[in-house]
A and B are shown apart, each in its own frame.
Chain A
């Protein structure tokens, strides 16, 4: 067997192993709660059932939650892209005193665990009268330091010559930003878009605390309630997890090409 063949087989095995947990998630969701603890190894339960899914969709506001997640994630992503790319441009291309300090200042924001900020944020939004609003769910996550980090690094890669030419022609910074940097930075922007969307979609603790009414819950908050007060119903929880994750997985698979191309061009050279 050629080395290449062997390599391919090993990789195939690794991939099967890597995707197995996700498959197991789906398989478990199709088992009835009774069978979940008895059909341990069977890949497909003797009696697969959609009962967990009908329970999830039937007894709760799950469609509402999915819609909320979509709204929150889309709005969040668009706004994050705008504000992150603007400051990234400043850090990458505008020479000014305090540029490094600002960069570190932005990065430092990543170093405090979010759980330590909940009460402060809640009281702040209460003072603003924004408790139980979409604005409250979206705002704290808009400024995404890691997005700034990635975009800054990439914008530095864009050939200076392109901007210089425009500058000499008399273009102001805003024009350069919109007509040169953004088009050439599409790939990094796609990366940040994906990260931002995933983060917004999967946000859990903050939406839980700030949304008083379950009608404002996002999907991650809603399905958390499938965890029982006094016992774990595994198959129901897995079904909920599938429902919450499926939209993201579908989006990912659909836009896989763009994502791959985009991420591939993100440069990290210094």
Chain B
């Protein structure tokens, strides 16, 4: 009897021992949400596939949501603590989430995971820091730049790429005259995409004169002044007096016009590079946004990764998320294929990145970029200024009237 019992135990023990290796660590599944669809989405998905293939500890499972509805879904999930393990969030939008304690402060995990923070560029990292704590890791920086059509410039007899706005304007007029193409394709009308470009350009011109669109403490509008008037006038003249930008041009048309070689210059973010590269007969270049007042400055935003607060904190998952974020940012040259500028110095130094056409031409612009004001009211102000500028330029309103109106509305939002 006793012998049988011991035999049974021995058999069971052996059986368990035999199965143990098979129960060796299953990869941790880390879920996350992104808003990268279309061209961006393809590059991003490729990176995730590469990450999953490169190691077997963590499997990243990505769910994409179209950008117009992404934040609706994210906000609802964060409110209910049902958000996934990692999410993408624009740096300019962090201010709506971080103060509400829905993202995990990452400092301790970053130390544990051994992420080399000094490899990151200072500015994008600063945009992810609140009250001295790091709440996100920046994946890219995507500023406003200028694209130009090499063929059209050649046809108009322009030998040198213009660097100041005055030069750009003169060249644009020349190309228009000589070839009939559009001088500057800059979207000035809302359609499927909102006409944010005007606000971005306005902010850039302001910053070039040393002014920010809101006061430093984000309590009042700061553009109804000489600097603002000059900035506005350049934009208004571009469409009206100088006539180098057609009226009623929406974002999709603006991009399509440049892509089909119908425009000499194009103001847009770096994200359009990938799409233009796909156009075989388009010989284009990309440089930083032109200086209109002697100094360089351009609007930028950045995509960051953040970790939502969950009902129950799972340290393993957070660490896995950090490792993923580390890998993605240090392989930023793959993301740069979509046109975005990497945030890590080691990536910029890589041959793969240096060999990508155009990116290094505007990567230097990173030194001169600035981000939107970090106030929860920014989203509302952004929409408002875009509407106001769009309307004022379309109706060719004079600078003083336009800015006074915009200032009054912006202050009303800030005062609430």
Which chain B positions have C-beta within 8 A of A229?
35-41, 67, 271
Q: Of A123, A126, A208, A225, which is within 8 A of B41 by CB?
A: A225
Q: In the complex the two chains form, what is the Cα distance from A190 to B76 in whole Å? A: 36
Q: Which of A205-255 touch B at CB < 8 Å? A: 205, 208-209, 212-214, 224-233
Looking at the complex, which of B58-66, B114-122, B123-131, B232-240 is the stretch in contact with chain A? B58-66
In the complex, what residues of B have CB within 8 A of residue A227's CB? Answer: 37-38, 66, 68, 192
Count of CB-CB pairs between chains A and B under 8 Å: 91
- A123 to B, closest residue via Cβ: B80
Give 1 or 0 for each of A111-126: 1 = CB within 8 Å of chain B CB.
Answer: 0000000110011001
> Given known contacts A119-B79, A126-B80, A131-B80, is B272 in contact with A230 (CB within 8 Å)?
yes
With a cutoff of 8 Å between Cβ atoms, the chain A residues found around residue B260 in the complex are 37-38
A94 to chain B, nearest CB (A): 40
Q: What distance in Å separates the Cβ of B255 from its nearest Cβ neighbour in chain A? A: 6
> Least Cβ distance of B270 to chain A in Å?
10
Q: How large is the interface on A (under 10, 10 to 19, 20 to 34, 35 or more residues)?
A: 20 to 34
Whether B82 and A228, one on each chain, are in contact in the complex, defined by CB atoms closer than 8 angstroms, is: no
Q: Check if B63 sits within 8 Å of A214, measured CB to CB.
A: yes
Residue of B nearest to A215 (CB): B63
Please provide the chain A residues from 111 to 170 with a CB less than 8 Å away from any CB of chain B in the complex: 118-119, 122-123, 126, 131-132
Chain A residues closer than 8 Å to B37, beta-carbon distance: 225-229
- Give chain A nearest CB distance to B20 CB in angstroms: 31
Most buried by B among A123, A226, A229: A229
Q: Which of B40, B73, B79, B269 contacts A208 (CB 8 A)?
A: B73
Report the Cα distance A228→B37, complex, angstroms: 5
- Report how far A118 CA is from B69 CA in the complex, Å: 12
Residues of A within 8 A of B35 (CB): 229
- Residues of B near A233 (CB, < 8 A) are 38-39
Complex CA gap A227/B61 in Å reads 21
Q: State how many angstroms separate the Cβ of A133 from the closest Cβ of chain B.
A: 12
Which one of B64, B73, B256 lies within 8 Å of A37 (CB-CB)?
Answer: B256
Known: A118-B76, A229-B67. Contact between A212 and B82, CB under 8 A? Answer: yes
Distance, CA A118 to CA B36, complexed state (A): 23
| A209 engages B40 (CB within 8 Å) | no
| Cα of A150 to Cα of B14 in the assembled complex, Å | 70
Chain A CB within 10 Å, residue with most, of B31, B38, B77, B84:
B38
- State whether B252 touches A122 (Cβ < 8 A): no
Known contacts: A227-B66, A229-B67. The answer to whether A119 contacts B76 by CB under 8 A is yes
Q: Which residues of B from 28 to 47 have beta carbons under 8 Å from A?
A: 31, 35-42, 45
B222 at the interface (CB under 8 A from A): no
Q: How far is the CA of A132 from the CA of B82 in the complex (A)?
A: 10
When C-beta atoms are compared, the residue in chain A nearest to B81 turns out to be A126
For A232, give the chain B residue with the smallest CB separation. Answer: B252
Q: Which residue of A lies closest to B61 (CB)?
A: A213
Does the CB pair A230–B64 fall under 8 Å?
Answer: no
Which residue of the partner chain B has the closest CB to A205? B69
Q: A34 CA to B278 CA in the complex, in Å?
A: 9
Chain B residues, Cβ within 8 Å of A119: 76, 79
Interface assignment of B275: CB less than 8 Å from any CB of chain A: yes
- Residues in A neighbouring B255, C-beta threshold 8 A: 231
Please, which residues of chain B bring their CB within 8 A of the CB of A208? 65, 69, 72-73
Measured in the bound complex, the distance between the Cα atoms of B45 and A59 in whole Å is 10
Q: What residue of chain A has the Cβ atom nearest to residue B76's Cβ?
A: A122
How far apart are the CA atoms of A208 and B72 in the complex, in Å?
9
Known: A126-B80, A131-B82, A205-B69. A212 touches B63 (CB 8 A): yes
CB-CB under 8 A from B45, the residues of chain A are 59
Q: Which chain B residues lie closer than 8 Å to A37 at the CB level? A: 256, 259-260
Q: Which of chain B's residues have a CB closer than 8 A to the CB of A232?
A: 38, 192, 252
Would you give the 0/1 interface string for B138-180, flagging 1 where the beta carbon is closer than 8 Å to chain A?
Answer: 0000000000000000000000000000000000000000000
Q: How far is the CB of B38 from chain A (nearest CB, A)?
A: 2
> Are the CB atoms of B73 and A209 closer together than 8 Å?
yes
Report whether A231 and B252 are in contact in the complex, using a CB–CB cutoff of 8 Å.
yes
B61 neighbours in A (Cβ, 8 Å): 213
Instruction: Judge whether B41 and A228 touch: CB under 8 Å.
Output: yes
What string of 1s and 0s marks CB contacts (under 8 Å) between B240-281 and chain A? 000000000000100110011000000001011001000100
Kindly list chain B residues whose C-beta atoms are within 8 Å of the C-beta of A209: 69, 72-73, 76
| A34 to B259 CA separation, bound complex (whole angstroms) | 10
- Chain B min CB distance to A157 (Å): 42
Distance in angstroms from A140 CB to nearest chain B CB is 14
Of A119, A131, A214, A225, most buried by chain B (CB within 10 Å of CB) is: A225
Query: Which one, A34, A126, A231, contacts B272 given CB within 8 A?
Result: A231
CB distance from B12 to the nearest CB of A (A): 38
> 13 pairs across A/B with beta carbons < 8 Å?
A37-B256, A37-B260, A122-B79, A123-B80, A126-B80, A208-B69, A209-B73, A214-B63, A214-B64, A227-B66, A229-B36, A231-B39, A232-B192
In the complex, the 10 A-B pairs of residues with the closest C-beta atoms, listed nearest first = A228-B38, A126-B80, A214-B63, A122-B76, A230-B271, A225-B37, A229-B40, A224-B66, A209-B73, A229-B67
For the A-B complex with A122-B80, A225-B37 known, give 11 more contacts whose Cβ atoms are closer than 8 Å.
A122-B76, A126-B81, A209-B73, A212-B31, A214-B64, A226-B37, A227-B66, A229-B41, A229-B271, A231-B38, A231-B255
